[in-house]
Structure 1
Amino acid sequence: MKHRLPGQVTRILLFSLLALQLGACSSTRLSYQFADRGVVWWVEDYVDLTGAQEDALLQDLRQMREWHCQTQLTRYSDWLAELRRETARGELPPEHIRYHRQQLAAFLEPLSARAVPVASRLLKSLTDEQVRELVASMEEQQAEYRREYLDEDTPQEAVERVVERTERWLGDLNDRQVAIIRQWLADREGATEAWLDGRGNWQAAFSSLLEQRRQADFEDRLRDMIIHYQRYQGEAYQARAGRNADDIVQLTHKLLVAADDRHWRHLQEETSDLRQDMVALACPAEPATAAR
């Protein structure tokens, strides 16, 4: 089995810069600076590229990162400053949590738009053999996820996984917060299977699209799959999508209500550190060429 890079990026080249950049604060700057190479390594976890394909992808990614640091990081730092001001009050109502989740989704829109041409150029360059390798790798990972999250996963392991992700932002959780997570997972029975089924549906549609990568409308169809991905995940998943978003908002709110002062301080520190990284990583826009 090929080595899998860490993270939750589930679609090739989608949201790669944002996902790498919002990793652990201590390594954010280093991750961002080497994001282009990291994405290439991640892609090659699915399909072996030729030297020419790797060079072309790196060039595209470096241009994308330049655009990103010039135009997007200031938006992130402004949002983080707003989030820090709100959390300083020691409360965050559900409607505010929902707003901040919407802000994150809004950050992904321009990033997705920039990623589509990059992904399209790469996918169009793949040989039939490389496409078969890519599809096989996706199917292998899907089977791996099913074993990990359905066949072999236990309720306690699921609780520990959510606790670990939450402690990244809040620090060590108290007993009440762990109990909230345990109950939340128990109430969401079937959610993981729905997610895996939806993921499988998207991958099946993507695999079919790859067979038509030489057609003139390939990039437009790829864009639709990326921007409107829920359409391709099946009716069962779409029916749960809105509920899933509300569930996460409610879980976040309950965890914050149960938080001690130390949790709010930890959240403030993490938000502040990440904002400092965004400010440090932002690069000035290139000056406009003077008209002659």
Structure 2
Amino acid sequence: MHEDQVDLTTDAAAALILDQFPQWGDRPIRLLRSTGTDNAIFRIGDDLAARFPLRLTDPATALATLEREARAGAELAEVSPVPVPHPVALGEPGAGYPMPWSVQTWLPGTVATETDPGASVAFAEDLASFVAALRRADTRGRTFDGAGRGGVLTDHDEWIGICLTESQGLLDVPRLRDTWARLRELPRTGADAMCHGDLILGNVLVADGRLGGVLDTGGFAPADPALDLVGAWHLLDREPRRVLRAALGCDDLEWERGKAWAFQQAMGLVWYYVESNPAMSAMGRRTLDRLLEPGA
């Protein structure tokens, strides 16, 4: 998927895990097939998962990122109303793999890429409860750190320009350019709140049409409160989307800023993964279709 991707075989992963954590030596190690784009994930028995970053990074930088993600995941676990993974351990480079890696608890359930929750009002209500719980969490005086989504919309103009150029022949580029021209101007009024930051299909679990758990919690941090509204368009059809909006009490400005963050994310998914990860590309396309619906 990435030019700087580091590939890892199951044998190499097993060697790393069993060498550094021999207490798990009697557990089977198996690769998890997923649409994820950041980590290769290997099951360790039934209750643990090892996550190996895919993109080559300086080991010291990678370790700092993993330590920050572990702290964030533990903090989110304290406030989440649904199950989330808990950090367990950090591994070191070895066996030909050049970066640190992490181990966390495994959550049972069905990822939303395999069972679409988009039409479920109950799921929308659960998602709203999750987002509300995170917004109530104490920022501890922290503010958005400037990395990624969640700050100033116009900071992403260059990226959107690249996406529009790369999307020629894939999407209705003139219409999307006009959409961004409107969304990028939306003002910010509310203070930062704690956000998950990446509420997409691959990061939520579904159980009987309800929200069964949330994954990839290492991005839990202060940001524009509208950031977690990306889930409204990534995950929900029109009526459940309205239920989520009502439950969170979003005014027009906050709702439109949520749409802007979903747009910024979806624009990069379609062209970047069109060949290497078609499921992720299709998710981005569906999100954009939802965003462009009249009255979305």
Normalising by structure 1, report the TM-score: 0.31
More strand by share: 2
Larger radius of gyration: 1
TM-score normalised according to structure 2 size: 0.31
